[in-house]
Structure 1
Amino acid sequence: MEYYLLIKLIHILAAVVLTGTGAGIAFFMFMANRSNNPQAIYITAKHVILADWVFTTPAVITQIITGVYLMNIQGYSFSALWFYWVVGLFVFIGICWLPVLRIQYKLLELAKNSLDLNQVTPEFKSLMRTWTLLGIPAFIAILAIFWLMVFKPFPVA
């Protein structure tokens, strides 16, 4: 049972890292964008990409591994409605996140151009709106998964 609690702790910590990094990235990128300061935007865009590789990606992998392990330990069914909702939301988040990763590299390139021009380009602003529009539903889906994990409103077995 102690091993179960350790895996559960790791699963929860990964969820916290994933959620916190997502919220932090969104906040700092949003604030840098609002500043219209090309240098702040460029540096923030570089750090956002780094944070996704250092924190978000390992947290996602950890969530999958520990989640499957916890399902097995607890005897939860992989064909339960609850599991379908969790996986569906997780996939939805991935569908939003994968384009965001690509967009972040384009934003970095546009931020570098803005730095050279000493003004933020309209293309950057437009792509930032897309980045934000993909991030909002993904973050809401993360919160929905938290709700599902805590309340388990559907049968799990």
Structure 2
Amino acid sequence: MSMEIIIVKTLHILSSTLLFGTGIGTAFYLLVSSWSRDAHVVASVARYVVIADWIFTATTIVFQPLSGIYLARLMGLSLLTPWLYWSIVLYLIAALCWLPVVWLQIRLRDIAIDAAARGVELPRSYASHLGCWAALGVPALFSFLAIFYLMVAKPALQG
């Protein structure tokens, strides 16, 4: 295996770890802080969740397909190789879930900041936005888990 492949593969794995870890971590903190129903706590946590999403998730969500396609090219793999093809499909599903999640997280942050500034409880709209946010997180989570399996096992699947 060439040094270039080793470097790109290492960066691809590190990036996927950062993407998945940030996603799980920020989801945990936003969900748990939301359970408190304390607008001040939620506003503080949501600020950092949005920042972390832009710094870590946005960059790795772009880097992952670029490094993955480059790695496949270096290794002489067709993007239609079944395990790779389905990884790409699942990645697109996860990315399409993430796009509205970004908007929802910003909205949740803004609702919490407004409620905290006015000294009121989180409004009902917060709960409905949080429900949509969580619902979009489920297919993204399972897509990423399946991608990890496909990347490690490389099963012989039907294309």
Common fold: TM-score over 0.5: yes
Contact 2:83–2:151 (CA<8 Å) still a contact in 1? no
Please tell me whether residue 30 in structure 1 is matched to residue 6 in structure 2: no
Alpha-carbon distance between aligned partners in 2 of 1:71 and 1:12, rounded to the nearest angstrom:
13
Please tell me whether residue 143 in structure 1 is matched to residue 145 in structure 2: yes
Q: Deviations over 1:42-78 (max 9, x none)?
A: 0111111100111001111221111011101111112
Residue identity in the other structure for 1:13: L
In structure 2, list runs of 5 or more residues that go unmatched: none
User: How far off is 1:82 after superposition?
Assistant: 2.0
> Which residue of structure 2 lines up, in the alignment, with residue 58 of structure 1?
59
> Which residue of structure 2 lines up, in the alignment, with residue 93 of structure 1?
94
- 1:154 partner SS: coil
Q: How does 1:1-157 map to 2 (within 5 A)?
A: 1-115=2-116, 116-154=118-156
- What TM-score do the two structures reach when normalised by structure 2? 0.93
Name the Cα RMSD after superposition. 1.6
User: How far off is 1:2 after superposition?
Assistant: 1.4
Residue identity in the other structure for 1:128: L
In structure 1, list runs of 5 or more residues that go unmatched: none
Pick which of 26-35 and 58-67 moved more: 58-67
Moved over 4 A (4+): none
The share of aligned pairs that are identical, in percent, is 34
- What TM-score do the two structures reach when normalised by structure 1? 0.94
Alpha-carbon distance between aligned partners in 1 of 2:119 and 2:132, rounded to the nearest angstrom:
22
Residue identity in the other structure for 1:136: V
